[in-house]
């Protein structure tokens, strides 16, 4: 007769091991709660791809990967961490351990849940984008920039990430041009000034209509948003940084309130409309910054601890 495996019980389960999730784990563990962090990938998520940060307190310059490794080491001193284990379902019950968290490997019970599920790169939906993904089209300068030293590439986007990655690619020796659909960048002035100082060319009021090539990317067709004119430009690579799509699928399962863009709506204590469920980081409404996610992680872990104490 097969013995039924008993599910492990936790006070707090954190889904997502990015900067916010790891910070929540540090705070939750130090408060004495039994805490588990689960991530479908390696800890850090897309934060591992950040080539350089100059605005994280305490570090003049640090890569996302280096900072994640420091945070991961600190978090695992205070709680459990399961990497490469995707959460597929969360079931809410009326029991003391009111949430059953199911993964591809196992199931766990928890009194509360913190959603730190993050986001993924938004695509252009241009012709040829899917066809040439990994063949000249990339969403990660840190991952793929090395292969484009001395080659002509474009960086598509106008926010902080796009300009940071353009500078990184320039430093690797790539001949990078920034393409942005608006008439000015949304990035911080500090980054815009660095782009000018580095002599990186920019093409404003332009969108990528098509990515062309044979086996690899050979050119892009750009559309002038003011005149409608099309021009074909020879390039070896297209790097894309045009925002992120929130991973709010689990929130939808729990009937958590979302805004019109799919981001989770939270209050100042990081609480959602579902009791004992909290949310932090890029999956939430708010500023998409590493330090913000960390702050939200601390708030959510403290809120969960206080709510469990008062239940």
Tell which residue, 299, 287, 290, 270, has the closest CA to residue 58. 290
Tell which residue, 158, 255, 274, 247, has the closest CA to residue 208. 158
Query: DSSP labels for 101-112?
Result: EEESS-EEEEEE
Distance CA 34, CA 183 (A): 51
The first and second tokens of residue 277, run together, are 């469920």
Point out the catalytic residue in the list 41, 140, 152, 224.
140
- Collapsed DSSP state (helix, strand, coil) of residue 287: coil
Point out the catalytic residue in the list 11, 39, 144, 282.
144
φ/ψ region of 118 (left if φ > 0, alpha if ψ in -120 to 50, else beta) reads: left
Residue 144 annotated among the catalytic residues of the structure: yes
Distance CA 76, CA 22 (A): 9
Point out the catalytic residue in the list 143, 257, 259, 267.
143
The first and second tokens of residue 300, run together, are 């959510």
The first and second tokens of residue 125, run together, are 């939906």
- Collapsed DSSP state (helix, strand, coil) of residue 146: helix
Residue 284 annotated among the catalytic residues of the structure: no
Query: DSSP labels for 232-284?
Result: EEE-SEEEE---EEE--HHHHHTT--B-TTSPBP--TT-B-SSTTEEE-GGGB
- Could you list the active site residues? 140, 143-144
């Amino acid at each position: 007769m097969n013995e039924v495996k008993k599910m492990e019980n936790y006070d707090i389960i954190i889904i997502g091991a990015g900067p916010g999730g790891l910070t929540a784990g540090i705070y939750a563990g130090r408060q004495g709660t039994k805490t588990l962090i689960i991530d479908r990938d390696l800890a850090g998520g897309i934060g591992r791809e950040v080539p350089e940060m100059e605005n994280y307190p305490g570090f003049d310059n640090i890569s996302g990967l280096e900072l994640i490794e420091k945070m991961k080491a600190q978090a695992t001193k205070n709680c459990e961490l399961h990497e490469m284990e995707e959460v597929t379902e969360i079931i809410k019950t009326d029991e003391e351990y009111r949430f059953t968290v199911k993964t591809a490997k196992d199931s766990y019970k928890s009194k509360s849940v913190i959603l730190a599920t993050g986001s993924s790169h938004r695509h252009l939906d241009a012709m040829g984008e899917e066809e040439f993904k990994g063949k000249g089209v990339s969403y990660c300068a840190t991952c793929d920039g090395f292969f484009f030293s001395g080659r002509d590439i474009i960086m598509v986007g106008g926010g902080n990430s796009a300009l940071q990655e353009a500078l990184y690619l320039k430093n690797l020796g790539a001949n990078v041009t920034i393409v942005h659909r608006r008439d000015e960048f949304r990035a911080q002035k500090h980054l815009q000034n660095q782009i000018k100082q580095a002599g990186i060319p920019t093409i404003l009021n332009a969108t990528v209509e098509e990515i062309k090539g044979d086996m690899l990317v050979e050119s892009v067709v750009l559309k002038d948003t003011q005149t409608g004119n099309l021009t074909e430009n020879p390039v070896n690579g297209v790097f894309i940084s045009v925002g992120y799509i929130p991973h709010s699928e689990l929130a939808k399962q729990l009937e958590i309130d979302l805004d019109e863009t799919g981001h989770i709506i939270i209050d100042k204590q990081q609480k959602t409309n579902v009791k004992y469920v909290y949310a932090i980081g890029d999956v939430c409404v708010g500023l998409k910054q590493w330090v913000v996610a960390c702050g939200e992680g601390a708030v959510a872990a403290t809120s969960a601890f206080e709510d469990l104490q008062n239940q």
